[in-house]
Amino acid sequence: MDKPAVRDAALLLLRLVLGIVFVAHGWDKLLITGLTETTGQFSAWGVPQPKLSAYLVMAGELLGGALLVVGLLTTFVAGALALLMAAAVWFVHLGNGLFAADGGVELPAVLIVALLMIVVFGAGRASLDGVLTRG
């Protein structure tokens, strides 16, 4: 299993799944739940500057997720999204237990660890980063 092609395929799969999850959450904030409702939720959770934060989180999730899917600026984007999820843990999930159904830390913890795998191991060769850095 310790072959470059297997590692690149695993990183591609990880990037695709993470990217789709983040795009879906950003899309939800923008068009399904809406930014007004999201701002209200952020305010109730004590997120600083809830309106600005709602816009930044929505844009970060949409753009960051899309960049993960194509593998562009991948380690930077994965690090930024990991910090975003750490803030979500702090403001929203901490104190709600473990399980996602209860608003706990389960989902954001898995997302943070998965994003850190991309920070550590990079995007892989099956990415725009991989294509642009080949010599």
The confidence band for 120, taking pLDDT boundaries of 50, 70 and 90, is: very high
Domain boundaries, the chain: 4-125
Query: Is pLDDT above 70 for 9?
Result: yes
Q: Residue 17 and residue 111: Cα distance in Å, rounded?
A: 10
Q: What is this structure's pTM? A: 0.94
**Mean per-residue pLDDT over the chain, rounded:** 95
Tell me how many degrees the CA angle 57-62-66 measures, rounded to the nearest 5: 140
The confidence band for 1, taking pLDDT boundaries of 50, 70 and 90, is: confident
